[in-house]
């Protein structure tokens, strides 16, 4: 029996424990909200001892950040799949739809998870998690443009910042489909403007 084979059962059990802790945290956030969320309640719901929980996470915020990271990673993979499979003309809307639906849970839960992730990893995580978005836009042959650092920054941050604001202001009662349309219009208009600017610059060269 190899060393790798001997380690696998232990690793599988550890992953199952982590999964149970994260699932319990999500359930508690959805049913009771962040205010009542404690490591003791998470451990109880997950069916593990508090000591076991602390073997994997240092505190409650660490658990929330791990949940946010997991969901953000799933979103990043989904966007990559869209980039590879979606027709160019549909890429922007499809990606925005993926971003809007990429974080599970109620608006309150999404805010908690994303805030915890930003607190743990910093604002730079926005660029890390949306390089696929930039790749999709850059490959649009009909626009014939190359994104500079500044325009890429706008594209990777505009949608996310607007969606974070929308989630943080539920009293506005924004219609998700109408918001999606506006975000698509925003991105398409910006990209068309970038293309026009690039053509104008090429004409002067």
Q: What is the CATH number of the domain that holds 6?
A: 1.10.10.60
Question: Does residue 1 register a pLDDT over 80?
Answer: no
Comparing CA positions, the residue from 139, 179, 142 lying closest to residue 159 is 179
| CB 96 within 8 Å of CB 187 | yes
Question: Does residue 28 register a pLDDT over 90?
Answer: yes
Same domain, 191 and 92: yes
Indicate the average pLDDT of the chain: 80
Same domain, 131 and 47: no
- How many CB atoms are closer than 10 A to CB 83? 20
The pLDDT of residue 80? 67
**Structural domain for 51, as ranges:** 1-57
The listed range with the strongest mean pLDDT (5-14, 106-115, 183-192) is: 183-192
Same domain, 130 and 170: yes
Q: 3-class SS at 59? A: coil
Residue 97: CATH number of its domain: 1.10.357
Q: What is the DSSP letter of 102?
A: S
CB proximity list for 47: less than 8 A, separation 6 or greater: 20, 24
Radius of gyration of the chain (CA): 21
Same domain, 126 and 53: no
* Model confidence, pTM: 0.69
Give the mean model confidence (pLDDT) for residues 104-116. Answer: 83
Distance CA(52)–CA(41), nearest Å, equals: 13
The pLDDT of residue 9? 44
| pLDDT confidence bin for 110, thresholds 50/70/90 | confident
How many domains does the chain divide into?
2
Residues 9-20 pLDDT 10s: 478 889 999 999
Same domain, 33 and 74: no
Same domain, 18 and 93: no
Distance CA(10)–CA(203), nearest Å, equals: 64
């Amino acid at each position: 029996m190899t060393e790798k084979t001997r380690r696998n059962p232990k690793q599988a059990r550890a992953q199952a424990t982590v999964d149970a802790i994260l699932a319990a945290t999500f359930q508690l956030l959805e049913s009771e909200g962040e205010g009542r969320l404690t490591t003791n309640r998470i451990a109880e719901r997950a069916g593990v001892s508090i000591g076991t929980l602390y073997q994997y996470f240092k505190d409650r915020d660490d658990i929330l950040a791990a949940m946010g990271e997991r969901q953000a990673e799933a979103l990043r993979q989904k966007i990559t799949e869209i980039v590879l499979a979606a027709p160019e003309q549909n890429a922007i809307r499809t990606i925005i739809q993926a971003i809007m639906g990429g974080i599970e849970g109620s608006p309150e839960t999404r805010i908690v998870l994303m805030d915890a992730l930003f607190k743990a990893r910093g604002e730079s995580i926005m660029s890390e998690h949306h390089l696929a978005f930039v790749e999709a836009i850059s490959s649009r042959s009909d626009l014939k443009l190359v994104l500079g650092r500044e325009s890429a920054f706008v594209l990777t941050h505009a949608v996310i910042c607007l969606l974070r604001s929308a989630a943080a202001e539920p009293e506005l009662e924004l219609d998700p489909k109408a918001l999606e349309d506006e975000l698509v219009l925003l991105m398409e208009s910006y990209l068309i403007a970038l293309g026009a600017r690039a053509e104008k610059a090429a004409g002067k060269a």
